[in-house]
Amino acid sequence: MATISYKDAGVDIDAGNDFVEAIKSDVKSTFDNNVIGGIGSFAGAYALPAGYKEPVILSATDGVGTKLKLAIESGKLDTVGIDLVAMCVNDLICNFGTPMFFLDYYATGKLVSANAKDVVAGIAEGCRRSECSLVGGETAEMPGMYSEEDFDLAGFSVGIAERSEMDTLANVRPGQMLIALPSSGIHSNGFSLVRKLLFEKLGMSLEDDFNGMPLLKTLLEPTRIYVKEFKANKEHIQALAHITGGGLIENLPRVLPDGIKAVVTKSDIRVLPIFEFMGEHVEEEEMWRAFNMGVGMVWVAEESAVEAILANTDGYVIGKLENGTKGVEFV
């Protein structure tokens, strides 16, 4: 009788084991003193940090979206892991959470160890930038679900916060200032529109020059992680908004109570060249709703704290809070 193996079905157990061995050093480089145990257990273990009166555990999950398709097509896979971490931990800090640990899920049609190792190296770099530990992950080889070397990513971050610090709405009031922290680029939102415009409508290629460098470099610039800036300026911040899909228009109101509006001076925003270029082909309102436009995060701060924040970051003032219907008003 003819026999069949798991490998014949498209799943290579040995390749999976080799991959785990290949990533051990990168993963261990993210560990801090709160990590319990090592790699290979059924679950990651992490001791709760001391010093919290009423600790609250926060969690966030996200992916990279169709930015991942550009990475796969180009073969440049060492930065999308940074994006994965960034999209999760940047959300955590908006609830005054300090990231503790991270987990990832990598699903593919066929495991190519070198590719997966590049991705995990990026995840480890993202964890180092956000000062959290990569304590676990899952690699799933699923032929038939994904075509050959295609893959998808999901990330999961867990943080800790003091309960009394989480209600940022109570801190927000008219007269406070809006400070923009620049984005590093498109980050990880709106890439379906980016791809449709640049490659289908305009016929561009990843190798085309844009602002003196290959277009690919601009598009795959990893999402900026704001954790260290948050930690260094936490005492001066009243609220934070991560500017992702929906842009300033949809994300900034999430940190505003009813009866308060954000008045933003549009001309003060340092729009990045890639957005200026795309804006020649996309309606202005659509641009501001789909992209961060150069602002990766907005902090709400008392006017008296602005000078200290600006001296300690690359942030800049883009507006202030006033009485009015909750939302964003551009002037």
**Tokens coding 2:** 């003819």
Predicted confidence (pLDDT) per residue in 202-241, tens digit? 999 999 999 999 999 999 999 999 999 999 999 999 999 9
Residue appearing with tokens 């003032």: 317
Q: Which of 21-30, 187-196, 262-271, 281-290 has the lowest mean pLDDT?
A: 21-30
Q: What average pLDDT does the structure give for the chain?
A: 94
Predicted confidence (pLDDT) per residue in 137-191, tens digit? 999 999 989 887 789 999 999 999 999 999 999 999 999 999 999 999 999 999 9
Three-class SS state of 80:
helix
Taking every pair of Cα atoms in the chain, the longest distance, rounded to a whole number of angstroms, is 81
Where do the domains of the chain lie, and which CATH numbers do they carry?
13-165 (3.30.1330.10), 168-330 (3.90.650.10)
pLDDT band (50, 70, 90) for residue 1: low
Q: What is the DSSP string of 31-65?
A: --TTEES-TTSSS-EEPPPS--SSEEEEEEEE--T
Predicted confidence (pLDDT) per residue in 286-322, tens digit? 999 999 999 999 999 999 999 999 999 999 999 999 9
pLDDT of residue 88: 98
| Burial bucket for residue 164 (CB in 10 Å: 0-12, 13-18, 19+) | exposed
| Burial bucket for residue 165 (CB in 10 Å: 0-12, 13-18, 19+) | middle
246 pLDDT higher than 80: yes
pLDDT band (50, 70, 90) for residue 42: confident
41 pLDDT higher than 80: no
Kindly state the average pLDDT of the residues 20-26: 83
Number of residues assigned to the chain: 331
27 and 132 Cβ atoms separated by less than 8 Å:
no
Strand partners, 264: 319, 330
Three-class SS state of 87:
helix
Strand partners, 35: 46
pTM of the model: 0.95
Strand partners, 58: 159
pLDDT of residue 20: 79
Q: Which residues contact 97 (CB under 8 A, 6 or more apart)?
A: 56, 58, 159, 160, 161
pLDDT of residue 149: 79
- C-alpha to C-alpha distances, 287 to 271, 291, 320, nearest whole angstrom: 11, 6, 22
Residue appearing with tokens 């300690």: 312
**Residue-wise burial string across 105-134, b where 16 or more C-beta atoms lie within 10 A, e elsewhere:** bbbbbbbbbebbbbbbbbbbbbbbbbbbbb
- The span from the CA of 80 to the CA of 131, in Å, is 18
Three-class SS state of 123:
helix
What residue ranges in 112-242 does DSSP mark as E strands?
133-141, 151-162, 177-182, 209-210, 213-214, 239-242
10 pLDDT higher than 80: no
28 pLDDT higher than 80: yes
Q: Which of 81-90, 93-102, 140-149, 265-274 has the lowest mean pLDDT?
A: 140-149
**Tokens coding 280:** 């020649």
33 pLDDT higher than 70: yes
